[in-house]
Structure 1
Amino acid sequence: MLHADQLPGRTLLAADGRQYLFCSGTGYLGIARNPAFAELLAEGLARYGTNYSSSRNSSLQLRIYDEAEQYLARYTGAEASLTVSSGYLAGQMAVKALARAGRFEYAPGTHPAAWLADHPALVGAARTFDEWAQHLLHRLHHEAPHPVVIVSNSLDALRVQRYNFGWAQELPTDRPVTLLIDDSHGFGLIGRGGAGIFTEVQVPASVRLVVVSSLGKACGIPGGVVLGDASFVGSLRRSAFFAASSPVVPAYLYAFVHAQALYQQARQQLATNVQRFAEAAPAALFQGAEGFPVFYTPANSLADYLQQREVLISSFPYPAPTDLCITRVVLSALHTPADVEGLASLTTDFARQQIYDELKGN
């Protein structure tokens, strides 16, 4: 474990004075270290201050919240959106509002932000996502028509798999059904113009689609968002949960609304980096998804190999310290072509060394 006194960007200066190429974290678009975004944030801070210490339902209404939420709805194709201070809060607000909407069904690997209980029974944990989805459809179509709330991530960001939601079109229409998707790792990256999964998922007209997401990953905003139909989002806005929760710092929403050209530039740079690494790195070593900037490997020793060569990647037990180690290379829009090519070269050398060691062992 390394310690540092500053936030990493393209590189990390560790407390011991060594500098590493930083290929970890979830700041995929590099917004936290984007100078142009910092200027927009400075404008927002000058206008709104460092924090808004009040309820969104107070007698003072800052127009930036309506402006940002209207933009998010247009951007994603949702009828309405609601911002809160974190992605975790967005997930919890949504599931608490749906607590009496039906029996909860959880997809494998569903993030704790979308859990209704502390440790729900993850029925599909032993299945792949596709197996779970088909099993769920079979059960729903062969049981009494009780209301159901289906909860899932939009993708597996750990072992890097994009989920296919084509099955959602076959959900039953003879009962109330809600599909709640956590798009925290996809929002800002996947979908049309990085708008996430909302418009990519097709459901019958009777099925309610709700998407929750962190804004703190690709978008670099300390906040979260709930996307859905106007009725559901309106009920959240009127809830005590919303009234009692802290809002997003308005200066960040100001920067977000005015930074869309920066986001587009960053997405283009990131797409180039992802393609370059996917073409140059050893395919047998990694599992990835088209266009996604994370590359999973079961070879946990890659982390030590790269750290010795001043490259820091993501490698730690997740989500609990007792869980298996998850090792991944994470690219960002901040990485240069030389960074990506050098990293790919090192992973190729590592793969060759592994093959040599295996042959030598035989």
Structure 2
Amino acid sequence: MIEKSIYSVNHFRDILPTSIKPDRVVNLNGKPFLFFSGTAYLGMNANPEFTRLMEEGMRIYGSNYGSSRSGNFTIPVYEEAETAMAKHFKADAALTVSSGFMAAQLVVRYFEDKAAFIYAPDCHPALFRNQADSIAGNYRNWINALPGLLQQLPDENIVILTNSIDPLKVNTYDFSWISQLPVNKKITVIIDDSHGLGILGKTGEGVSGLLPEAPSVDIIIVSSLAKAMGMSGGVILAKSSQLSALRTSPFFTAASPMAPAFLYAYLNAEELYKKERADLFRNIHQLQQGLFSLTALRYIHNYPVIFSKDNQLAAKLFEQQILISSFAYPGPEDDKITRIIVSSRHTEEDINFLLGKLVD
């Protein structure tokens, strides 16, 4: 069932080492393990055709673009890919940067001295100005408290920050509150969609397809492209005027952009993404059908992450040569988050093997 590999590692630690790309199988200590972890939901990191497109892009553009995009020279592939992303992700415009963290920080630092900030519970740390911005709590309770929070702020300009989905404990968020925000204030909602882009929505457009109409509210979506999309980079989705303003930020001017070879691959991979997304949903359906009777596990329809309160589950499955995600988050002193993550790369046999060990 599990394919053998010629690669093996010579040591084993709490952090498990492997020197080959994570795919449906990884090798540890010379033994093959099914890999139900990571965030490569669409398996693009191990897709041979996407790799071929990357190699083509590198032959054309080199391994990197060692310059600022604010310089007096440009490569058209950036604008071409950003136009395609804006259409794909249902946004007015798109701006790519070197990482999801850079995307979030570029936006946050732009607004830092221009508006009052309100954070939703469990925001991704990339959205923080400092550690004090981290708050825990129930998202529904936060929504109920939001009108009061807004009234307490005398500022006319307000920024509200939230994730698009909870990928750790696997909860969806209701965004109907956006349409109920007061119109007498200038409100910008910043949404981190790193774990939704490529998965959520009818065509993988992400959270943008799930948001209500709110003409008086500016919405900016930031996302890593290194998850489902399989590229080292990040993207900001917003109005063209907002992105024009962000381009003037020293955080953008002074930073190197993402490697153009990724954008070349993206522009030529539309059918690959469609196929991998279909394969992912097939695998999710198979896994969730098999988990129907296991009430200790939490999951949501058509999402590739399964949450477990049992932090011993990882050790139990490890004995069966299955690796799942289980580590302290966001810091080493925090509780472990234990999850099973399915990707488009898994086979029917892989999922049946996992289900058999979960039911045992």
| TM-score using structure 1 length | 0.92
| Distance in 2 between residues matched to 1:146 and 1:183, nearest whole Å | 26
| Distance in 2 between residues matched to 1:102 and 1:31, nearest whole Å | 38
Deviates more, 1:101-110 or 1:182-191: 101-110
Q: Secondary structure in 2 aligned to 1:197? A: helix
Q: 2:348: which partner in 1? A: 337
One-letter amino acid of the structure 2 residue matched with residue 23 of structure 1: F
Shift of 1:101: 3.2
Q: 2:35: which partner in 1? A: 22
Find 1:254's aligned residue among 252, 255, 264. Answer: 264
| Distance in 1 between residues matched to 2:19 and 2:144, nearest whole Å | 48
Deviations for 1:14-65, whole angstroms, at most 9, x for unmatched residues?
Answer: 2x11110000000000000001111111110111111111111122210000
One-letter amino acid of the structure 1 residue matched with residue 320 of structure 2: R
Q: 1:212: which partner in 2? A: 222
Shift of 1:140: 2.4
Q: 1:354: which partner in 2? A: none
Shift of 1:138: 3.8
Q: Secondary structure in 1 aligned to 2:203? A: helix
| Distance in 1 between residues matched to 2:125 and 2:307, nearest whole Å | 21
Checking the alignment, whether the CA contact within 8 Å between 2:121 and 2:134 is kept in structure 1 is no
Q: Secondary structure in 1 aligned to 2:132? A: coil
Find 2:307's aligned residue among 296, 306, 309. Answer: 296
Checking the alignment, whether the CA contact within 8 Å between 1:91 and 1:213 is kept in structure 2 is yes
| Distance in 2 between residues matched to 1:46 and 1:71, nearest whole Å | 22
Find 1:61's aligned residue among 74, 86, 106. Answer: 74
One-letter amino acid of the structure 1 residue matched with residue 48 of structure 2: P
1:90 is the counterpart of 2:100: no
Shift of 1:239: 1.9
1:274 is the counterpart of 2:284: yes
Q: Secondary structure in 1 aligned to 2:133? A: coil
Checking the alignment, whether the CA contact within 8 Å between 1:280 and 1:345 is kept in structure 2 is no
1:173 is the counterpart of 2:183: yes
Q: What's the % identity of the aligned pairs?
A: 38
Checking the alignment, whether the CA contact within 8 Å between 1:91 and 1:114 is kept in structure 2 is yes
Deviations for 1:64-92, whole angstroms, at most 9, x for unmatched residues?
Answer: 00001111111122111100000000000
Shift of 1:144: 4.8
| Distance in 1 between residues matched to 2:209 and 2:36, nearest whole Å | 30
Find 1:6's aligned residue among 17, 20, 30. Answer: 20
Checking the alignment, whether the CA contact within 8 Å between 2:125 and 2:134 is kept in structure 1 is no
One-letter amino acid of the structure 1 residue matched with residue 247 of structure 2: R
| Distance in 2 between residues matched to 1:326 and 1:142, nearest whole Å | 34
Segments of 5+ residues of structure 2 without an aligned counterpart are 1-13
Checking the alignment, whether the CA contact within 8 Å between 2:36 and 2:341 is kept in structure 1 is yes
Segments of 5+ residues of structure 1 without an aligned counterpart are 350-362
One-letter amino acid of the structure 1 residue matched with residue 347 of structure 2: T
Aligned residues: CA RMSD: 1.3
| TM-score using structure 2 length | 0.93
1:104 is the counterpart of 2:156: no
1:327 is the counterpart of 2:338: yes
| Distance in 2 between residues matched to 1:150 and 1:165, nearest whole Å | 12
Find 1:51's aligned residue among 49, 64, 81. Answer: 64
One-letter amino acid of the structure 2 residue matched with residue 6 of structure 1: I
Q: Alpha carbons of 1:330 and 1:47: their partners in 2 closer, same or farther (altered >3 Å)?
A: same
Shift of 1:142: 7.2
1:225 is the counterpart of 2:235: yes
| Distance in 2 between residues matched to 1:222 and 1:161, nearest whole Å | 26
Q: Alpha carbons of 1:78 and 1:150: their partners in 2 closer, same or farther (altered >3 Å)?
A: same
Q: 1:36: which partner in 2? A: 49
| Distance in 2 between residues matched to 1:172 and 1:203, nearest whole Å | 14
Shift of 1:130: 1.3
Q: Alpha carbons of 1:142 and 1:4: their partners in 2 closer, same or farther (altered >3 Å)?
A: closer
Checking the alignment, whether the CA contact within 8 Å between 1:137 and 1:170 is kept in structure 2 is no
One-letter amino acid of the structure 1 residue matched with residue 114 of structure 2: A
Q: 2:89: which partner in 1? A: 76
Q: Secondary structure in 1 aligned to 2:306? A: strand
Q: 2:7: which partner in 1? A: none
Shift of 1:143: 6.2
How many residues are aligned here? 345
Deviates more, 1:274-283 or 1:90-99: 274-283
| Distance in 2 between residues matched to 1:253 and 1:170, nearest whole Å | 37
Deviations for 1:119-141, whole angstroms, at most 9, x for unmatched residues?
Answer: 3263xx23x11110121124325
One-letter amino acid of the structure 1 residue matched with residue 229 of structure 2: C
Q: 2:3: which partner in 1? A: none
Q: Secondary structure in 2 aligned to 1:108? A: coil
Deviations for 1:221-257, whole angstroms, at most 9, x for unmatched residues?
Answer: 0000001111111111122211111101000110011
Shift of 1:4: 1.1
| Distance in 2 between residues matched to 1:121 and 1:221, nearest whole Å | 27
Checking the alignment, whether the CA contact within 8 Å between 2:311 and 2:337 is kept in structure 1 is yes
